[in-house]
Amino acid sequence: MRRDFAMLRSLPLALWLALAVVTGTAAPTLAADDAGGALLTERCASCHNLTGPATTTVEGIRARKGPDLFYAGDKFRAEWLEGWLQKPARIRPAGAFYGDHIKATDKWDVVDESTLAAHPSLSAADARLSAAALMQRHAGRERLQGVKVEEVSLPMFMGDMLFDKFKGCIACHQSGRDYGGLSGPELYTAAERLRPEFMYSYMQNPQAWDPRIWMPNMHLAAEDLNKLVTYLQMIAGEEEQ
Ligand code: HEC
Ligand code: HEC
């Protein structure tokens, strides 16, 4: 059972909270910033929205080739970003728009891997430049103001129940490798990738970030939002060990 030794494998919460504080990078020089911005425009803009605003139509969502990055500085942990750009691993099991990469079977949806392309990978120097330029993008900053994630104590089985049964997040998200739905990003890596305040704010009101996204607004109370952020921090890193 995945959960039996889950506590041993999860990173201490205190460490995550400490890491969360270190989300900014040292301010790049103007020249480096320009070079990073130029690199993004040249090599990333064909698939990613770098300037906003988010699409407000369902067709726009369907046509999107990659996730929006114009609020990357509000979303990502800088360390993760720089590392991932050098060694990108899949986050959305069925790609940016899952409908394009799913084969329906009698029982269950299956990802058609042959239709998914590997993400371009960057040299260490280019990853540093683009991560720094992305971390300057703060279009969602005002939504994070006032978000205060509170540490709560949550037994793993209660977190599992909340995520799987009470809130039904498991229908769209994986909470372990090959465990969960395919239409949203895997969440057992969420706390490595994302700032805690972003996770809280996104779960509170997904459409505030992405007006047409199919994640429902579940009108979660602060107590549940804190529990879910804690849960995502608890399951992070489990699969790697
Ligand atoms: C050919 C299209 C394409 C190009 C070009 C591209 N990306 Fe992506 N990118 C994607 C797709 C598709 C995903 C979703 C991958 C996944 O979830 O597994 C993605 C995911 C990402 C993510 C994670 C976003 C998130 O919200 O989870 C980042 C960061 C990223 N790309 C940065 C870049 C940068 C920087 C460049 C340019 C150097 C770039 N990408 C070029 C298609 C592209
Ligand atoms: C109907 C499907 C669906 C359900 C149910 C759902 N989500 Fe989502 N979720 C999504 C989609 C789609 C996205 C955004 C996809 C993207 O950025 O490409 C998302 C994004 C997220 C993100 C940001 C992840 C990232 O990598 O950007 C978090 C955190 C999250 N969901 C948590 C939850 C939690 C917790 C629940 C249950 C309370 C839940 N979701 C229920 C579909 C769903």
Indicate whether residue 218 lines ligand 2 (CB < 6 A).
Answer: yes
What pLDDT does residue 153 have?
94
Report pTM: 0.89
Q: What is the pLDDT of residue 24?
A: 46
How does pLDDT run along the chain (241 residues), one tens digit per residue? 444 444 434 445 455 445 445 544 445 456 777 899 999 999 999 999 999 999 999 999 999 999 999 999 999 999 999 999 999 999 999 888 887 888 877 777 888 888 899 999 999 999 999 999 999 999 999 999 999 999 899 999 999 999 999 999 999 999 999 999 999 999 999 999 999 999 999 999 999 999 999 999 999 999 999 999 999 999 997 765 4
Q: Which of 155, 1, 174, 166 is nearest to 91 (CA)?
A: 174
Residue 7's pLDDT is 43
- Both tokens of 200, joined, read 């809280």
The CA radius of gyration of the chain, in Å to the nearest whole number, is 18
| 29 C-alpha to ligand 1 centroid (Å) | 25
Predicted pLDDT at 6: 45
Q: Which amino acid is at 34?
A: D
* 8 A C-beta contact, residue 153 and residue 234: no
Contacts within 8 Å (CB) and 24+ apart, 207-210: 208/143, 209/54, 209/71, 209/140, 209/143, 210/54, 210/61, 210/68
| Confidence (pLDDT) at 183 | 92
Give start and end residues of each alpha helix (H) in the chain. 6-9, 13-21, 30-43, 58-63, 72-75, 78-86, 124-134, 141-144, 156-161, 190-193, 196-204, 206-209, 222-235
Q: Whose CA is nearest to atom 42 of ligand 2?
A: 215
Under a CB-based contact definition with an 8 Å cutoff, are residues 147 and 229 in contact? no
Cα(185) to centroid(ligand 1), Å: 13
d(CA 114, CA 94): 11
Q: How far apart are CA 207 and CA 234, in angstroms?
A: 26
- Residue 5 is predicted with a pLDDT of 42
Long-range contacts: 170-175, Cβ < 8 Å, 24+? Answer: 172/215, 174/93, 175/235
Nearest CA to ligand 1 atom 33: 44
Q: Give the residue extent of every domain in the chain.
A: 2-240
Whether residue 53 is preceded by a cis peptide bond, meaning omega within 30 degrees of 0, is: yes
Residue 35, token pair as written in the block: 């070079």
Q: Is 227 in the pocket of ligand 2 (CB under 6 A)?
A: no
* Nearest CA, atom 27, ligand 2: 185
